[in-house]
Structure 1
Amino acid sequence: MGKERRLLTLLVCLALGGVLATALLGATRAADSHHGPAGAPPAADEYVDIRDVRPGAYPHPQPAAAGPDASTGSVTVDCGRNEEAHYNEDNLVVSPGLTGGAHHTHAYVGNLSTHAGSTDETLAAAPTTCRGGDRSTYYWPVLRRPDRPATQPYERSAGHGNTGQILRPADVRVEFRGNPVGKVVAMPRFLRAITGDAVARTAGTDADVRARWGCSGSPDRSTVGYPRCPAGDRLTRTLVFPACWNGLDTVNDGRTHLRFAAPNGVCPQGTFAVPELRISLAYEVPPGARIALDSFPEQRHSPRTDHAMFVNVMTDDRMAGIVACINEGRHC
């Protein structure tokens, strides 16, 4: 009987030791000496003084000079600043039907009904924050102050290392622009679009990194890091969407039905230029304040993972008006 007890005790100790070893190994893999544990605040080298950034720097080349057939107009849509506190952890474009599929919090302007279960029909029937009746949905991951406590339910709901006070933009600009070498054609209704790479930190390439970070007082300087701005400047995020459509699909993997033009503005073969969506966000952030973009835990709030999504719910007549304004070189 004593031997059996000793054997049982030995087996329990071995099992507990295995669990402890596994936990320690997992903790080691989830951390490294440079970036800290998954979900931790951004490392110090994720921040860059905007004064150290070369004008016209990476990630975007200077736009191509407009040619004789360029569509030089633009249309600005006023959709507010999400005063309605429309937040959730869904991603209708990437993970339709999957509640909480984003694992981080998105902020919305435009269509007030947008969530994982939205359909074309529910979007078309929903109210909107956009003046003029545009029911499109525009959304992006929230920016937080991790050094300040989350006090609202929507600030505490995401988890996965995304903690702290959500910063509401001081300004949100939704704009559609033309193409520097030719006219644009209409986007189809219910077109889904994405820009940026939510897994850029672990992707091994910056090929899909698209967001530009900057400061309001230095519009000619942009970076893929979190900018340190001088006192009085607003921190800015600019998210530009692909604007070359294949003419067929409104929904696929998010990377092939819509593509980016070449630096000279020419769309890839087999695609057509559509209005280029540009979302510009500006925040009041004190100099030196800690900030963190919501992300997947393993992405560790890297600013390179910034991204945004769009579903076009404009009527055909409204889209036709945007196309006409842009192609005629007007600013509407």
Structure 2
Amino acid sequence: MKLIHSCAVFSVFMLTACGGSSSEESSESSSSSYDLTVAFSSTPLVETQLQYAKFAFSAPDAQTYECRLDANDFSYCESGLFLVDLGLGNHRFEVRAIASNGEIGSETSFDWNVNSLFDSSNDDLIATNVMPETVAPNSWRGIIRINCDFAHSSYNDPIVYPDQENAAHLHRFYGNTLVDHTTTMESLYTTGESSCQGNQLNLSSYWVPALLAPLYDPITGQRELDNQGEPAWQVVPAVVGNDEEAHEIFYYSAGVDDLNSIQPVPAGLRMIAGNHATMPGDSQDTSIVRWHCQSWESDDATNPQFSATIPECLAPDRVRMDIFFPSCWNGEDLDSADHKSHMAYPIEHPTTGRMVCPDTHPVAIARPSYHYAFGVKPEVYDPVTQTSKGWRLAADMYEVTDTNHGGLSLHADWFNGWHPEIMQLIVDSCIKQALDCHDGNLANGYRLSGTRPGTQVEPDIINQGKGY
């Protein structure tokens, strides 16, 4: 059973919860030999601000179960049902057991209410009298900027290699602090904190391949060797976590011209932007992934100076990295086999010239994008040129040289774990109103709480970050 937005997405997981109330009716009649009375062992709270719910249930002689939410039709379900994207207000969940001979028991129901986050105080929402300004001409159509601290690093990728530990190249994760190879939509919403503004309201996970620099001896300037006797590498950290320093690491914006057509991103949506397999002799579209020196003052409208590879930026400059995700959804799937096909980039309408979603992917959603800054500092720059010469991504599957610069494999993963009410506000209050919302400002008198560090775990760099 799968219901999007106003209803719910149903996924089968085993979950736990407490509280609640239910009404039960016996399914037995004098002619029945089956006990099909359903009992709940896990329900949400009767009053909650969570827009997901978890149900576990059983009946002594049940062969299968059918469930429905609110006024929807009954359909097959299993105990441990996880419902997301629930709207505000009252809800009713009903389940009935079916015997091996097809006999259907009576419904057992549970009623609960989802309250607005703004009905009571919440530590992740801060009152503010700052009102965002309208976006500048020839700039973003409508946007909110979210700051995040670094959470942790690992060789895991729960989208590409689910349940396979250390199967990927080295990634740096931001957002949900407990993301690993076992992460699912359920665990994303129900466990961990966030290193991003909004904490529990923004449990999304953002990850990118680690940016690496050659490691030199600070005294001699000679290249260091790792434990295998190979040239050693070190991570180049992004400028993150300081809410007072402008680094603007994650944006949500409009990818199409019709702002009113944009919908909130569905809970649990996951996708990849960019191509990790790009090799020398080829390059990616710089409208999707790109590099530039901060000193270039690159701008899409007036100075579109971007590079497909990591430029040699001179200290104390910064290397900038931009990654734009597709913002047109097929309206059905939260993922696809290649983690891309359920999504598409907007196209230019042949008659009007306006940016629209293609017919194959007609649902316009808020567009995530990543914007990192990496300081060209003495501890990471090339000691001779004092530049970012020789930098590479852990995903680069080629030798970086003076002629083959690193960074061709630039890509990123995103797994949506936003609280649906906040995602709705991002769309309605910032994007649709064509505002420039900084610092997690929701344009309704509140902003998201500040960043916090994750575990900050840094594993050893193995095989140039390519992994095991």
**2:393 alignment partner AA:** L
**Distance between the aligned counterparts of 1:162 and 1:255, measured in 2?**
35
Give, in whole Å, the separation in 1 of the partners of 2:295 and 2:311.
Answer: 12
Greater percentage in helix:
1
Greater relative contact order (Cα 8 A, min sep 6): structure 1 or 2? 1
| 1:128-277 pair list within 5 angstroms | 128-133=194-199, 134-148=202-216, 163-171=232-240, 173-183=249-259, 184-201=262-279, 206=284, 210-220=288-298, 221-252=305-336, 253-262=338-347, 264-270=354-360, 271-277=362-368
Which position in structure 2 is the counterpart of 1:292? Answer: 392
Alignment pair present for 1:101 and 2:201: no
* Equivalent residues of 2:145, 2:251 under 8 A apart: yes
Which range moves more in the overlay, 213-222 or 170-179?
170-179
Residues 236/208 of structure 1: CA separation in 2 closer, same or farther (3 Å cut): closer
> What is the deviation of 1:318?
1.2
**Deviations 1:52-106 (CA, angstroms, capped at 9, x unpaired):** xxxxxxxxxxxxx97xxx99221111212x1x4x00111112221111221x210
**Which runs of structure 2 are paired with 1:28-43 in the superposition (5 Å)?**
none
Distance 1:216 1:234 in 2: 5
Unmatched 5+ stretches in structure 1:
1-64, 150-155
Percent identity, aligned pairs only, is 24
Q: 1:89 aligns with which of 155, 162, 166?
A: 155
SS at match of 1:277: strand
The alpha-carbon deviation at position 219 of structure 1 amounts to 2.8
Q: Size of the alignment, in residue pairs? A: 253
Consecutive unaligned residues in structure 2, runs of 5 or more: 1-136, 218-224, 241-246, 299-304, 349-353, 438-468
The 8 Å contact of residues 74 and 331 in structure 1, kept in 2 or not, is answered as yes
2:187 counterpart residue number: 122
Q: Matches of 2:231 and 2:341 in 1, distance apart?
A: 30
User: After the TM superposition, which residues 72-83 of structure 1 pair with which residues of structure 2 at under 5 Å, given as runs?
Assistant: 72-80=141-149, 82=150
Q: Which has the higher strand share?
A: 2
The Cα of 1:128 is off from its aligned counterpart by 0.7
Task: Give the greater-gyration-radius structure (CA).
Answer: 2
TM-score, normalisation: structure 2: 0.50
Preserved contact between residue 193 and residue 310 of structure 1 (Cα < 8 Å)? yes
Q: 1:307 to 1:97 in 2, by over 3 A?
A: same
CA deviation after TM superposition for structure 1 residue 323, in Å: 0.9
Q: Distance in 2 between matches of 1:318 and 1:162?
A: 46
Cα RMSD between the aligned structures? 2.9
Post-superposition offset of 1:203: 9.6
1:206/1:278 CA distance change after superposition, 3 Å: closer
1:315 aligns with 2:419: yes
Q: How does 1:46-57 map to 2 (within 5 A)?
A: none
Question: In the TM superposition, what whole-angstrom CA distance separates every residue of 1:189-214 from its partner, at most 9, and x where no partner exists?
Answer: 01001111010117967469932100
Structure 1: distance between partners of 2:198 and 2:174: 14
Kindly state the Cα deviation for residue 282 of structure 1 after the two structures are TM-superposed.
0.6
Secondary structure of 1:138's partner? strand
1: CA distance, partners of 2:334 / 2:173: 21
Aligned counterparts of 2:317 and 2:411: Cα–Cα separation in 1: 23
Superposed displacement of residue 268, structure 1: 1.2
Question: Does the 8 Å contact 2:141/2:434 carry over to 1?
Answer: yes
Instruction: Determine if contact 2:253/2:368 at 8 Å carries over to the other structure.
Output: yes
Q: What residue identity is the alignment partner of 2:310?
A: Y
Q: AA paired with 2:356?
A: V
